[in-house]
Amino acid sequence: MGRKTAVTFDPYAVPSPSYICDEKKLRENLNLLRTVQEKAGCKIILALKGFAMWSVFPVVREYLYGVAVSSVNEAKLGREEFGREVHYYAPAIKDDEIETVIQLSDHIVLNSHSQFERYRDKIKSSNKKVKVGLRINPECSVVTTEIYNPCTRYSRLGITIAELNKIDLKEITGLHFHALCENSANELEVALRAVEKKFGHLIKEMEWINFGGGHHITREGYDTDKLISLILGFKEKYGVDVILEPGEAIALNAGFLVASVLDIIRNEIDIAILDTSASAHMPDVLEMPYRPEIVNAGEPAIYPHTYRLAGGTCLAGDIIGDYSFKKRLNIGDRLVFTDMLHYSMVKNNTFNGVELPSIGIINADGSFALTRAFGYEDYRNRLS
Ligand SMILES: *Cc1c(COP(=O)(O)O)cnc(C)c1O
């Protein structure tokens, strides 16, 4: 995944394992997103599901309007640490959460007719003013990895036009769709066409529409001009405000996972055991699945020394992949995995009691700051 990334820090000078955010690269992404906001006249908010490293929220909030959240915990973090707009959407909200959700949120997007009926009066009668929207399902699959396709058949995510026709929309100020994952502006165009075809007659009645996440805006080659013209065209046609809520695009290629070689063994092939784990520290490697890039390493047999890189848990399948290196690996060597900021620390776990990676920042001036280290208490406190 991602372009070749140069490392601007000494991997031996940071803890291992650790996730390292590169502030300069983060700001490059945010600058591009700011340009989109300015040229398209839209709002971009950060989806905390993909990236919730709150020690850099002061940086992110210089550029973005707020956060998209999907749980009370995310909403609290957004309110406390980001401090701008909080847009709430979840597949279902619990009765004992709704009051907190109302107090924490500026927008609440409900996922179904019954959730809307269940909470409309509570939201309406609250002294906290909240904009209420509905998530629609455009039933248009542009995502080919099924686990990430919100429009797959029988999807629970969003209201189909057949169901929406049964709802009185007079208290609804906006619509939300999320149909993309790592997609280009071309795929957004396809999704927008489906949204317009099915829901166009209702959009004119709305104040705002949220195009969801999955816009890979900061990827090399992404056509931002096309994105901007799609948003401008949509705003002009329907007279609505447009919101985007990407997660991945904010942190794309803006950070690393540093790990160490603990042992090198042989079982027909050379295997290096690391102090990190696919299963615990980069679960998308197994879930998506995908092959992360490593600085100064390549596909097997490109360079003279090929190793299978394996995690430190007892799970047989805790394997990151096969990589080749110019020099033989040694115990204690540091490896730098690129593009490890999004969907990594938000999904990691203490499976097998492996330690969680520390979290740090390479500041814009090149200095390193360790923002978090984890210990036994973090493992213990999740159990009883
Ligand atoms: C996952 C998700 C996002 C963020 O998606 P990215 O692929 O990280 O940009 C935004 N909105 C909703 C509703 C989501 O489920």
pLDDT digits (tens, 9 = 90+) for 81-131: 999 999 999 999 999 999 999 999 999 999 999 999 999 999 999 999 999
Minimum-distance ligand 1 atom for the alpha carbon of 248? 8
Tokens of 44: 């971009």
- In this predicted model, what pLDDT tens digit does every residue of 210-258 receive, in sequence order? 999 999 999 999 999 999 999 999 999 999 999 999 999 999 999 999 9
Domain residues of the chain, as ranges? 11-19+254-380, 41-250
> What is the rounded distance in angstroms from the CA atom of residue 187 to the CA atom of residue 141?
10
Q: Ligand 1 pocket check: which of 44, 227, 245 to mutate, most ligand atoms within 8 Å of Cβ?
A: 245
Give the fold, CATH level 3, of 11-19+254-380: Lyase, Ornithine Decarboxylase; Chain A, domain 1 (2.40.37)
Distance of CA 309 to the CA centre of its chain: 25
CB atoms within 10 A of CB 4: 8
**Residue keyed to tokens 């979290």:** 359
- The residues near 102 (Cβ < 8 Å, ≥ 6 apart) are 108, 122, 123, 126, 128, 130
User: What are the two backbone dihedrals, phi and then psi, of residue 300, each rounded to the nearest 5 degrees?
Assistant: -55, 140
What's the gap in Å between 326 CA and the centre of ligand 1? 38
The pLDDT, as a whole number, for residue 144 is: 87
- The residues near 58 (Cβ < 8 Å, ≥ 6 apart) are none
**Which of 138, 139, 148, 135 has its CA nearest to residue 50?**
148
Give the fold, CATH level 3, of 41-250: TIM Barrel (3.20.20)
- In this predicted model, what pLDDT tens digit does every residue of 135-163 receive, in sequence order? 999 999 999 888 899 999 999 999 999 99
Minimum-distance ligand 1 atom for the alpha carbon of 216? 9
